[in-house]
Amino acid sequence: MSPIIKRKGEKFTLPGKYLLFILTILCTGLIVLTFNTNLISAPISAVGGFIIVPLQDGVSKAGSWLGRRSQELVQIRSLLEENEKLKAQIDELTMENISLQQDRYELTNLRELYDLDVQYDEYEKVGARIIAKDSGNWFHSFMIDKGYEDGLMIDMNVMAGSGLVGRIIDVGPNWSKVMSIIDDNSNTSGMVLSTSDILVVSGNLELYAQGVIGFEKLVDSGDRVVEGDKIVTSNVSDKYLPGILIGYISAINVDANNLTKSGQVTPAVDFEHLEEVLIITQMKQSIDEETSIGEN
């Protein structure tokens, strides 16, 4: 009986050699069909083109996008590093610029002090730096870094800029306190340089907000004193050496008694910006004594 014949009541079975033969014939046929026709490859290619090509295109675009982003991140990182270097350079140049400006400002101050020293070469002087000041917008009272160990004494005259700053009112071993001519407690005997008329210059912080201080007790019966005249320290002052520039008359008024005049003086010194000063180490009393001895 044939092995592929199904008996009654038995399951259909196919021997392995026949199954292998059938599969071999089927594979051979498919191979021949594939090589000689596109009956199978065409649908597969179409399906592959419909699915694979868009997928490859998407992967390619994603790769390109990721590549560009990667390059941009590298460039951004490079730019950030360069930016930090430039910031450091800017900070360094800014500090150098500030230092140069400060050196130039100090050089200007020192030149002014030198010119002032030459202008008043008849007096012996020592330089000092301001280290502190009282509250307020102006240097009406301040401390300097020289004291009695440097030969300084109370009532020594202090100069800066173009003229008189004030006088020393207190002295320590390595510091001194200066009261300027704009202080409310300051009164300075002055003289109109062009006429030799005597007046009193009084400090006034409220008035100095306008850049001026006051003067009074000017006797000028001939009306010779005019705005712009120079005011210097007078020879009758008991605290200040004579001939030191105080400022310039900016306003003149006749007093109610019609005998004296008062007005305003623009100081020769900028009391808003002070750093270094010159201290005249000679005293008014000692110079007066030397003059008296010389006359005798």
pLDDT digit string, tens, across residues 100-113? 666 565 666 667 77
pLDDT for residue 293: 43
Question: In this structure, are residues 201 and 213 in contact, taking their beta carbons and an 8 Å threshold?
Answer: yes
Q: Where are the alpha helices (DSSP H) in the chain?
A: 16-36, 41-119, 205-208, 284-295
Task: Please state the rounded mean pLDDT for residues 217-221.
Answer: 93
| Greater model confidence, 41 or 145 | 145
Q: Average pLDDT in the 17-28 region?
A: 77
Q: 């599969």: which residue's tokens?
A: 23
Higher pLDDT, 289 or 270: 270
Provide the pLDDT for residue 75. Answer: 86
240 has a pLDDT exceeding 50: yes
The whole-number pLDDT of residue 277 equals 94
Evaluate whether 141 touches 177 at the Cβ level (below 8 Å): yes
Nearest alpha-carbon partner for 130 in 91, 90, 161: 161
- Bridge-partner residues for 164, per DSSP? 159
Confidence of residue 161 (pLDDT cuts 50, 70, 90): confident
The whole-angstrom separation of Cα 64 and Cα 77 is 20
* Contact criterion met (CB below 8 Å) for 217 and 199: yes
Q: How high is the pLDDT of residue 233?
A: 95
Are 148 and 140 spatial neighbours (Cβ–Cβ below 8 Å)?
A: no
Give kind and range of the element (H or E) at residue 129: strand 125-133
Q: How far, in Å, CA of 165 to CA of 238, rounded? A: 16
> pLDDT higher for 163 or 43?
163
What six digits make up the tokens of 149? 């160990």
Taken as a whole, the chain contains a residue count of 296
Q: Residues 116-148: pLDDT tens digits?
A: 778 888 889 999 999 999 988 899 999 999 999
- Look up residue 51 and give its two tokens: 């699915």
* pLDDT value, residue 1: 47
Q: How far apart are CA 144 and CA 147, in angstroms?
A: 8
Rounded Cα–Cα distance for residues 200 and 236 (Å): 11
- State whether residue 115 is helix, strand or coil: helix
Which domains, ranges and CATH numbers included, belong to the chain?
126-283 (2.40.10.340)
